[in-house]
Structure 1
């Protein structure tokens, strides 16, 4: 099968043929239909986050189940599925306390000594984030995918797998937004736009979108933002504090930069919460001052929106099917696997909401 491979950190991805193994007892073989380009992939491609190479990135995907292992009970051949990088074991302390997104059990991967899932000749090709979705097929643990309504378009379904699960999950799960509360979303890429849309669905009283790109601020308005601010303006924090008479209940950082995380903290009202979603540089530190703490302000991370994806993803699909969740606006373009490097160059320039690779079926 064809796949996009990180051969060398900092270099363009290489399209090459690789082999994929047969499903083990708890594994699922999926024919990939669509996969979104996510900034998290770019962190690994550019070397900001270390990972062994060669490796196939890609994690925001949807497809059709082709084969299942002998012990698989959650999906069957022919099912349409969305994948999710927060694969879970189901019985560790995080899973049994409802925090499945924090599961790091090795049970969802093949153990050392077992044949690798991906190979090229005699060489192991590393699987990234349990998925490696920039490929015509995926071989994953059954707890890394969930079946969805077959009427759901698979290109829209793909972006639910990361951007929407993260952005909407932050609103619904991590923030537990109460109708009428104020929200500021900093960074209006795929994740940020999903958070804006989810805040509208949840009944936020005011939704402020902050981004340096005018076109992204306009997209945020389409998705439910009541106000927009240039995130790089010298007085961005002051503008938001003034328009909300003291700050927001929830500030969501959705880009992964020190300056945007600092902005999220600055615009909180007393008792407000800053939620960091972006993959920050590894040496980044975000904090609250003494007066912030005395004012009851809170700071939290929310990996993948603290999702419970077997429950959350079908609900998000239902939101789209009922016309509540606007995935069409989030998708900027549809491209082929061969155009993947051009897609990431556009992402580096900050000019695209979400590019989605469409695979030939």
Structure 2
């Protein structure tokens, strides 16, 4: 079988830096496509994979779960894409047959691909002659092979650097508000955590016509960005009690609390900030095995709800073009989210900047 050979960052051991290594990529098989990457967003899911927070992963692995590029080749039977198409990559390839895929929720497909592998149980990557594994679409690689359901064609009018963010952070944040919470005009929203996902939840709340839209974080710099993206009020949770402030701003508690961080302490604060019949949507992923303790009366007493949101309850085939249209019409801000652009070989520097809070979204670019 023909292979393409190139250099890419590879995670060999949890807790250690990624190493630039020679990678071989096999040709796309039936129903698959090869994509030449143009840009990849650097996100917290990759940090959690790299440091072991997500539990044991098959290694070596190439990280990256959001990005955009150009289709180079298609496998047999691929009908939805052609070479030259501009695509945003999804980390939720779907079987297309189960009841969840059929109802437009591929993020919770009943028969997803095995962890780190394609749907047939194998990997298309090789490093030093042995199998290397995929993290979702592995967008940190300059070339990837993905299932055709994981590559969504988008308009050529959007810069691929901006479109890259749609693959995870934008869809997850906006979708958590519009699809999971189903926020209505005039309802109040508080977003806890103003990283890439949280800031897009702020944008989603503004798009929904929510009021007030309250952004909560411990970094003033991120709260400043939240204001520019639609937050009407901000709460610095390191300097004031967020529950008291939110209750004061809303006259009794917020209608929707969106938790975009993986800390259970923040989830508890969000629950306590809810008003009657309020809804708390958990988006951030805590380390595996973490437990959240909830007083049942907090839910039962005033019909509050606690729900989870995976990939913003979105169908990428529909959501990605919709979000591109919002960007092209000036209703969704993407360029403002990109703090720094890094060449691929500076992936560890980009990861460190995200971990420290220095970047809202770093973007890897490929020559």
Shorter-chain TM-score: what band? Answer: over 0.9
SS state at 1:208 partner: strand
Question: Quick one: distance in 1 between partners of 2:255 and 2:330?
Answer: 27
* Residue number in structure 2 paired with 1:54: 60
SS state at 2:77 partner: coil
Question: Quick one: distance in 1 between partners of 2:223 and 2:153?
Answer: 33
Deviation by residue 1:58-102 (Cα, 9 ceiling, x = unmatched): 011000000001111111110000001111111112112332210
Q: Which runs of 5+ in 1 are unaligned?
A: none
**Cα-Cα RMSD:** 1.3
* Residue number in structure 2 paired with 1:138: 144
* Residue number in structure 2 paired with 1:358: 365
* Residue number in structure 1 paired with 2:323: 316
Alpha carbons 2:93, 2:112 under 8 Å: kept: no
* Residue number in structure 2 paired with 1:30: 35
Q: Which runs of 5+ in 2 are unaligned?
A: 1-5
Return the match for 2:336 from 307, 319, 329.
Answer: 329
- The TM-score with structure 1 as length reference comes to 0.96
Give 1:1-361 correspondences, 5 Å limit.
Answer: 1-49=6-54, 50-106=56-112, 109-112=118-121, 116-129=123-136, 131-233=137-239, 235-286=241-292, 287-360=294-367
Deviation by residue 1:275-325 (Cα, 9 ceiling, x = unmatched): 011111223223353143220100011011111110011000000000000
User: 4+ residue stretches of structure 1 with deviation over 3 A?
Assistant: none
Alpha carbons 1:187, 1:254 under 8 Å: kept: yes
Question: Quick one: distance in 1 between partners of 2:312 and 2:295?
Answer: 21
Deviation by residue 1:228-248 (Cα, 9 ceiling, x = unmatched): 001234511111111111111
Alpha carbons 1:213, 1:351 under 8 Å: kept: no
Alpha carbons 2:22, 2:128 under 8 Å: kept: no
Question: Quick one: distance in 1 between partners of 2:82 and 2:295?
Answer: 48
Question: Quick one: distance in 1 between partners of 2:266 and 2:353?
Answer: 21
In the TM superposition, residue 171 of structure 1 has moved relative to its aligned partner by 1.1
Question: Quick one: distance in 1 between partners of 2:273 and 2:298?
Answer: 14
Deviation by residue 1:13-68 (Cα, 9 ceiling, x = unmatched): 11111010111111010000000000000001001112111000101100000000
Alpha carbons 2:94, 2:112 under 8 Å: kept: no
Count of residues paired in the alignment: 357
In the TM superposition, residue 351 of structure 1 has moved relative to its aligned partner by 2.3
- The TM-score with structure 2 as length reference comes to 0.95
SS state at 2:321 partner: helix
